[in-house]
Amino acid sequence: MFHPLDRKIHAEIGRHISPFRYPGGKSWFLKIARRWLAGQARPEVLVEPFAGGAGISLMAIGEDLVDEVVFSELDQDVAATWETILNGHARWLTQEILSFRLTRKRVEETLSRSPKNAHERAFRCLLRNRTARGGVLNEGAGLLRR
């Protein structure tokens, strides 16, 4: 699944970092990618396969190093999160996050329910990512103690 990220989206995202955290993420690569992109003739499009948190794409568009980015993600939950954010429902997702009363019981209940649509899948994905040890999304990943 591909997501175009262009100037229109840039106004919404600004310089925010990814909502995800991953063990083995690409944040270590940001300085290298930034330096490499800045040293090239300005690319029109940056393609980020296996985007995950899409940190490279967000950095490149946020720092105006490229005109457009396209990224892909195979994980259905992560893809649903990006679809929700990039296709006009970021405010809905933000409101869900801000209004969620975080208790272990509520987290367990929410994660145990099957999502009814892509928006619910996105919220559930971020909830799992932010409450599981190390941000691991696998069903068997343990929750943080606090």
Amino acid at position 92, single letter: W
Could you give phi then psi for residue 96, rounded to 5 degrees?
-60, -45
State which residues of the chain have pLDDT below 70.
1-16, 23-24, 133-146
Reported as a single tens digit per residue, the pLDDT across 5-15 is 544 444 444 44
pLDDT at 68: 94
The domain segmentation of the chain, as residue ranges, is 1-74, 76-146
Q: Is 33 left (phi over 0), alpha (psi -120 to 50) or beta?
A: alpha
The closest alpha carbon to 51, from 84, 17, 13, 79, belongs to 79
pLDDT at 2: 39
pLDDT at 10: 46
Other Cβ atoms within 10 Å of 56 Cβ, number: 23
pLDDT at 133: 66
pLDDT at 6: 47
pTM of the model: 0.78
Rounded to whole angstroms, the Cα distance separating 94 from 19 reads: 11
- pLDDT, the chain, mean: 83
Sign, Cα dihedral of 60, 62, 65, 69: positive
pLDDT at 25: 73
